[in-house]
Amino acid sequence: MLRRKIDNELLKWKQNHNKTALLITGARQVGKTASIRQFGKNHYSNFIEINFITDTNANKIFNDSLRADDIILNLSTFVKKALIPGKTLIFLDEIQECPNARTAIKFLVEDGRFDYIESGSLLGVSYKEIPSLPVGYEEIQQMYPMDFEEFLWANNIQEDTINYLKECFMNERYISDIIHEEIKKLFQRYMIIGGMPAVVAKFVETKDIGQVINIQKRIMELYRQDITKYSDSEKMKIRQIFDHIPAELNKNNKRFTMSDINKNAKYHRYESGFMWLTDAGVSLPCYNICQPVLPFELNTKYNLFKLFLCDTGLLCSQSLGNIQFSILNGDTTVNMGSILENTIAQLMVSNSFKLYYYNSKKIGEIDFIIQKGNYILPVECKSGKDYSTHKALENLMSVKEYNIEEGIVLCSGNVKRDKRILYLPWYMVSFITQPSIESYIVD
């Protein structure tokens, strides 16, 4: 069983005395069901799992009265198992298939006899009306593909090594050459394997890239099937956007251009399609900002954006040629810029950052600009060996009114500071996190 960071969040939720139901959302195949199932079996003496796709009659549990007593009677009858108060976890999987179950959570939580976890892959997609959302009765956790630290765990990298890397990051210390080269090699593998648990497990088991690619292609086909099944009248437009993502990222500027879909295509006609892919967790938009000043939301051009895939391995599987083997062999002449940038975007989103970029004729283009706490952090991604050249970043930081204290260059090199520019190995993006919010009690 692969170790996941969500495991700690599940345990924290169980230990919380003011309990709500826990709703785990995220794209398909990111490992929601496996993690919840393992948690339920390890921490409850009585674990009940209902899947509204495979259990075709499960919807009937919630068809009539939504009183807690009636639902619990229906539940116990359906599963043919006693429900033990205080010791039972009820897991409602693929809950998007049963809107009434989502509404019923309020009454079940109020009843208080059992614990409830819900999970679904397309909860952000409004293809079915939910009679009443259980506002205040759900704690929501977003789950993503495995991040690079989880990938290191899967590849048996010891905690001492990871802690050493974190210490080097915090103190801007040079990393041992042996460790740096080993972790960089694993990061290059992560770029082509990605973080889908089934893919990672197959790689760890076999080290066979051919088998890895086959699983990735199956997941991509599952996403295409979801578009056909759940997207109503917009399926053709959504499919066009989805299928164009790899080619759009392969362009020099990586921006999504509507005319590449159709010379007469207009953004407003496709806007709902972009939103569908984002809400389904399949795509990660990175929006252009007019000025690098906070708050970014007031400076965002939502019709100018890059569109990344939720998983770098899935993107790699759609690339032409043997790019996987070129990256594995350290061939920096291959055009791996789009793969690297997608990997960085994926890892920053998993660390709770919203994605923005900046571009102007005077400054140039900055790959990413993120808000870290209350300050602005520009981030450049360099795939080649000439990573010390970053004119746009220098131009941006020379503008005094922007008040940008530091810029980061993610590169193949070691940790190094040059005045206000901090060079970090690609893999250290995993350690760029939001500062924790301390308790602040007002008298």
Q: Is-contact 48 91, C-beta < 8 A?
A: yes
**pLDDT tens per residue, range 383-432:** 888 899 999 999 999 999 999 999 999 999 999 999 999 999 999 999 99
CATH 3.40.50.300 location in the chain: 6-142
**CA 94-143-303 angle, 5° bins:** 100
Res 332 pLDDT > 60 = no
**How confident is residue 353, by pLDDT bands cut at 50, 70 and 90?**
very high
Q: For the residues of 304-353, what is the DSSP string, one character each?
A: EEEEEES-HHHHHHTSSSSHHHHHHTT-TTS--HHHHHHHHHHHHHHTTP
SS3 98: coil
**How confident is residue 131, by pLDDT bands cut at 50, 70 and 90?**
low
Q: How many angstroms separate the Cα of 258 from the Cα of each of 299, 361, 435?
A: 22, 22, 37
At 228, list the tokens: 């056909």
**How confident is residue 307, by pLDDT bands cut at 50, 70 and 90?**
very high
Question: In terms of pTM, does the model score above 0.75?
Answer: yes
Q: CA-CA distance, 435 to 370, in Å (whole number)?
A: 13
Nearest to 5 by CA among 154, 150, 162: 150
CATH code at 6-142: 3.40.50.300
Q: CA-CA distance, 212 to 205, in Å (whole number)?
A: 10
Query: Which one is predicted more confidently, 35 or 373?
Result: 35
Evaluated on CA atoms 246, 252, 256, 262, the torsion sign reads negative
Walk across the sheet containing 364-366 and list its strands: 300-309, 283-289, 356-360, 364-366
Q: CA-CA distance, 343 to 347, in Å (whole number)?
A: 6
Q: Please state the rounded mean pLDDT for residues 26-54.
A: 96
Contacts of 116 (CB under 8 A, 6+ apart): 21, 22, 89, 90, 91, 92, 105, 108, 109
- Most confidently predicted of 40-44, 52-56, 132-136: 40-44
Res 127 pLDDT > 50 = no
| pLDDT of the residue at 124 | 62
Q: Please state the rounded mean pLDDT for residues 29-46.
A: 97
Q: How many angstroms separate the Cα of 411 from the Cα of each of 158, 191, 312, 422?
A: 24, 14, 17, 10
Nearest to 279 by CA among 146, 142, 116: 142
**How confident is residue 437, by pLDDT bands cut at 50, 70 and 90?**
low
Over the chain, what is the mean pLDDT? 91
**pLDDT tens per residue, range 223-248:** 999 888 776 668 889 999 999 999 99
CB count within 10 Å of CB 87 equals 13
**How confident is residue 439, by pLDDT bands cut at 50, 70 and 90?**
very low
Residue located via tokens 């409830």: 116
Res 264 pLDDT > 90 = no
| pLDDT of the residue at 385 | 86
Res 333 pLDDT > 60 = no
Contacts of 432 (CB under 8 A, 6+ apart): 348, 351, 353, 370, 372, 377, 379, 408
